Structure 1
Amino acid sequence: MILNRPKTHFLTVLFIFVTSFSFAQSNYFKYSYGFGGGINKSYTDVYEGGVGYTAYGVLDYNLTPFVTLGVEGQYGMVQGGDIVTDRYNRQFVTKYTSFTLNAKLMLGEFVNYDRSEFLYNIRGLYLGVGLGAINNNVTDIVRQRPSWSNDPGYTFPGKDKSVNLHVPINVGFNYFITDGYGYQRYVININAAANYTFGEGLDGYDDPSNKFENFSPDIFNAYTIGFRYMFGTIKAYRKTL
């Protein structure tokens, strides 16, 4: 049977389209887990923040290779102030644990990185936001101003143990490493997070605003590096990875 010319042209174009589409997409794993750690800096009611540490574990569901939803648990220590140098003689050390739900959106979801080596190399840049709770355990705090201060004996109100709303805002970079089969399997992660806590539990001080400045949420910024491993079932993506 001999096909007429219009039908032959149509089948040729269809074949080229299907072939091009199949080569223009890649496969990725639906899940990843990881861990990491680093340092943090506090910005609370205490005038001078201190440096502490943060460790975390994370489990993500990959909606696409560049859009993730996940859960993250953190453990760390936040501190600030100095009984001698702080203008109100305040000082605290808090051990904390937190649990948040997070969403992250990477640059690779929007740009045509296959046309630019520069864009390809930075496709893992992302922004993210989360929501959860932070459990504060103040292990060391100055509750009463010392006798040599300008207001000796004043007792700072506040709680040593509390749970507050926790909102992390993340900016970071994922560096993807392929396995022997060409899949994006491993990730080196660098992240900076501003962690907003709503309440007065992070530093343990809850002074009335008419006596001390106390208008902003307690914040600690965390700077971490971590490792992630991708696993699970495989899905197709519309662009080459």
Structure 2
Amino acid sequence: MRATYITLLLVFIGSFSFAQSNYFKMSYGFGGGVNKSYTDVYKGSFGYTAYGVFDYHITPFVTIGLEGQYGMVQGGNIETDPHNRQFVNKYTSITANVKLMLGEIVDYDKSEFLYNIRGLYLGLGIGVINNNITDIVRYKPSWAQYDPGYGPFPGVDKSLNMAVPLNFGFNYFINDGYGYMRYIININAQSNFTFGEGLDGYNDSSTKFKNYSPDVYNSYTIGFKYMLGRIKSYRKTL
């Protein structure tokens, strides 16, 4: 009986340790937050961003995935902007992203602090943004202080541009009842560089207006992810 008990105990401990060193290979999630634009218009404004994401986990701390976004980017103000410009863009986008978390490159087993921040990550992506300008000032109003009635400001209301997102964020992992990493609370800051003149709908000559850098919108979001799929082993204890 004693030998049987010891054998069963060792099997239980070994099985538990094995479970702690395994992870699910996929995850999906959703979230939302606010964004702010930095474009050719003098001052950006706050808008909103909603997203859905699907990731493949090469390791628990290295992912590649797809992210789709829908939101509103806006900027300017017809009354306060120096050129009386303003715009509203109801955009959609899809990007492919790779993310590297701190847990992949540090030995967090020996430090409680490193263990707690192992979900800190950087990411880079590439994709496209579909711009849909729903409100824009193409002609200066008659009461404008300078060049009243000037226009039209060149540009298009609908366009497709390349987008490059840069991500900095944190994943907080929550285990399920079996000890697997199953749920993730995500906090993310993302800078989206768009190449083209579609984000704000203005394509003015740089000889008349400052127009030297890509149009950018930064988003600040919080979201939730669920891990699923086949199980894969990992070299570190999770």
Q: Within the alignment, does 1:95 sit opposite 2:90 as a pair?
A: yes
Contact 1:24 1:238 in 2 (8 A): no
Structure 2 alignment gaps of length 5 or more? 1-13
Q: Which amino acid aligns with 2:219?
A: A
Q: How does 1:1-241 map to 2 (within 5 A)?
A: 26-149=21-144, 150-155=146-151, 156-241=153-238
Moved more, 93-102 or 144-153: 144-153
Structure 1 alignment gaps of length 5 or more? 1-18
Equivalent position SS for 1:60: strand
Give the drift of 1:146.
Answer: 1.2
* TM-score when normalising by structure 2: 0.91
Between the aligned partners of 2:18 and 2:32, the Cα distance in structure 1 is 38
Contact 1:106 1:126 in 2 (8 A): yes
Between the aligned partners of 1:153 and 1:129, the Cα distance in structure 2 is 43
Q: Which amino acid aligns with 2:206?
A: S
Q: Which amino acid aligns with 2:214?
A: P
Larger radius of gyration: 1
Give the drift of 1:147.
Answer: 1.4
What percent identity do the matched residue pairs reach?
A: 75
Q: Which amino acid aligns with 1:153?
A: G
Give the drift of 1:148.
Answer: 1.9
Q: What does the per-residue CA deviation read over 1:21-63, in whole Å, with 9 as the maximum and x for residues that have no partner?
A: x769700000000000000000000011000000000000000
Q: What does the per-residue CA deviation read over 1:64-84, in whole Å, with 9 as the maximum and x for residues that have no partner?
A: 000000001000000000001
**Aligned Cα RMSD in Å?**
1.3
Q: Which amino acid aligns with 1:119?
A: L
Contact 1:53 1:76 in 2 (8 A): yes
- The runs of 4+ residues in structure 1 deviating greater than 2 Å are 22-25
* TM-score when normalising by structure 1: 0.90
Between the aligned partners of 1:110 and 1:43, the Cα distance in structure 2 is 34
Q: Which amino acid aligns with 1:77?
A: M
